[in-house]
Amino acid sequence: MEHRGLAELLAEYGNQLDQKTPGVADTGYAELSPEQQQELLSLLQLAGQVKDALAPAHPAPAFRRKLRSDLTEMARRRMSQDVIVELHSAPRELLIGAAIGSAVALAGGIAYLIRARTQARS
């Protein structure tokens, strides 16, 4: 039988802990040196203690009810909010602004043409 290291034995023991059937794997344990067997046993004990300490926690029913209520209310408020886009400028003001912009652009074009002609003559 092939010799397996401590890591493989620990991994197998961890899988057994997850399946709730913990026990030292028979295969490979006898092949370890006494020092390795002692180290393995202490690591297995530690793994069991860690497993017990990290037992899943479940929230209290009151907390779950309040959280559900809060999330539902938040979703309801978010859905009821309407997005309203208002134009603060009246159409007349927009028309005046467009006319002024066009006039400025026309004046700029005329100024450019006048300058280009005066520079061409000099």
pLDDT, tens digit (0-9, with 9 covering 90-100), for 87-115 = 666 788 888 999 999 999 999 999 999 99
pTM of the model: 0.34
Q: Where are the domains of the chain?
A: 6-53, 87-122
Rounded-to-10 torsion of CA 36, 42, 43, 49:
170
Q: Where are the alpha helices (DSSP H) in 23-90?
A: 34-53, 61-80
User: Is pLDDT of 1 > 70?
Assistant: no
Count CA within 13 A, CB hemisphere, residue 16.
Answer: 15
